[in-house]
């Protein structure tokens, strides 16, 4: 599933929503049954914010009890949400121990 907001009418920006991720989102989403991967994405130049979800199955996604989302902070529903079937996956060779914990929001804040 791919979801995003246009933040034009929100008091928040991609930068301010990074604080939300840093403080609670990553921990809140890490134990959702059936969620294989959630990748938060942003486009600060176009003022957009969203996520890509990979679910174990459509049933797992439908049954999932989701934590507080960015919608509460943004102040209005998603602009775009679309579900897709996965045709194939591959994980390339890399030296990372995990895909968890990556991203701008989880880097130490600039001093």
E strands, the chain, are 2-6, 35-43, 48-55, 80-82
Q: Which helix (H) or strand (E) holds 26?
A: helix 26-29
Instruction: Pick left, alpha or beta for residue 12 (phi over 0 → left; psi -120 to 50 → alpha; otherwise beta).
Output: beta
Q: What is the CB-side half-sphere exposure of residue 64 using CA atoms within 13 A? A: 22
Given this model, what pLDDT does residue 86 score?
A: 87
For 99-102, the CB contacts below 8 A with 24+ separation are 99/37, 100/26, 100/30, 101/26
How far apart are the C-alpha atoms of 111 and 26, rounded to whole Å? 22
**Cβ of 110: how many Cβ atoms within 10 Å?**
4
Phi, psi of 16, deg, nearest 5: -70, -30
Mean pLDDT by 10 residues, the chain (111 residues): 94 89 78 91 93 93 85 88 89 83 73 58
Given this model, what pLDDT does residue 45 score?
A: 93
Q: What pTM was computed for the model?
A: 0.80
């Amino acid at each position: 599933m791919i979801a995003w907001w246009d933040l034009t009418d929100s008091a928040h920006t991609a930068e301010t929503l990074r604080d939300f991720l840093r403080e609670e989102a990553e921990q809140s989403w890490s134990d959702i049954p059936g969620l294989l991967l959630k990748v938060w994405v942003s486009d600060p130049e176009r003022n957009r914010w969203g996520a890509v979800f990979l679910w174990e199955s459509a049933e797992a996604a439908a049954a999932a009890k989701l934590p507080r989302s960015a919608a509460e902070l943004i102040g209005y529903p998603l602009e775009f949400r679309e579900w897709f079937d996965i045709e194939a996956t591959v994980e390339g060779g890399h030296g990372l121990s995990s895909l968890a914990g990556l991203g701008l929001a989880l880097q130490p804040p600039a001093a």
